[in-house]
Amino acid sequence: MSLTPSGTPLFTRAGRLLLAIIIAVTAYSAGLRSSDGGAQENSALDLARFNEVLTLIQEQHVGPKTDEDLINGAIKGLVDSLNDPYSQYLTAEEMAAMKEGLSGSFTGIGAVIDLRTSAGELCTTISSDCLLTVASTIEGAPARAAGILGGDTLLAVDGDPLTGLSIDQAVLKVRGAEGTTVVITVRTGDTAPRDLSIVRAKIELPAVATEVLQSTAGDRVDYIALNEFTDIAADQFRVALQEIIDAGGDKIVLDLRDDPGGYLSTALSIASEFIADGVVYIEENSKGEQRSTSAEAGGIATSASIQLVVLINSGSASASEILAGALQDRGRAILIGEPSFGKGVVQTFIDLSDGSGLKLTIAKWLTPNGRWIHKTGLTPDIAVTSAPEGSEADPVLEAALNAFK
């Protein structure tokens, strides 16, 4: 241990941990507020009580503990105190998994999941009234082949209950090396839980899927499904859209059902393909200050001669809602289906020096007409109830094909 000339320890073990936590907090604030000097505010925090508790834990607690566990726990507690289901401190492993999920490919079982209470509200920690629920399964993925359905609840992984975990921690338990087997305990409705042995696979999730259909009148209709707003989605979408335009397509169905969102920049790029100029969305910060973001120049489908219908449901969230809300408010498309998820806040990812990271809510977002759809969702122009999962019928798509004039 380093000593001062008088032989007094420069830092106690608790003091070193406290310094590490202070440095982490200051680094996060500097990264978030680099333009307004907010990092200096942390110097006024009174951390004496925190240091007192930390010292007591180090000196008196009986049981295994590491410096890393204490630091991670302290920072997680800081973020959890916000009571915001979208703000999270992520360990290096969790941060890597989060980024992998937005890259367009990952290794797992291919289920889209979220945390919901019995009343349908978002929640943060798995419990008896905060369930890990399957929103949908990816076509061709192991989860669907194993019989997992939208609405199912995941209770345990390899026999370990998921109670007490965050959604990111649960995802890490489900994911693993390609070709390995994971046992998922699943409950469908009120039936008894069942164990499913599923072999993990590499899930390559193309951002865009296209198909040529026909309207009720027999006209060509081009269908584009956008699976997620990943970092490759905008480029893939533009290529697909250009092919449609080159083929003379002027009636397009954009399917955003069960699209959980992703990058805000991707939503702006895709909206700008259909909106020539003007507002796409509005951000409102913690001070109530609003800033409008306008369409980027160069969109290839901005002509009013190109008709657009957008499909949404309760799985359409976040960036999906930004895109659909902009197209609806600007009169560029009609929405068909069911009310969307209702996520009206924006997060940013902040990388910390050790590979861990922070996902932090930094603003509300509003549609061009100033609507905040948080917890209410977008209301479709034409309401159509989806068919049960597994049914070959698609009344929402049928309604879209009937909507073209």
Catalytic positions are: 318, 329, 343
Alpha-carbon distance 236 to 189, whole Å? Answer: 37
Burial of 81 (0-12, 13-18, 19+ CB in 10 A): exposed
Answer whether 303's CB lies under 8 Å from 280's CB: no
Q: Tokens 């919901």 identify what position?
A: 116
- Cβ count within 10 A of residue 83: 7
Strand 251-255, strand 307-312: pairing:
parallel
Alpha-carbon distance 303 to 172, whole Å? Answer: 45
Q: What is the DSSP string of 123-140?
A: -SS-BTTBEEEEEEE-TT
Cα–Cα–Cα angle for 215, 221, 224, nearest 5°? 130
DSSP state of 11: S
Cα–Cα–Cα angle for 165, 171, 177, nearest 5°? 135
For 108, 158, 188, the CA distances from 182, given in Å and listed in that order, are 9, 6, 19
Query: What does the block give as tokens for 153?
Result: 């609840």
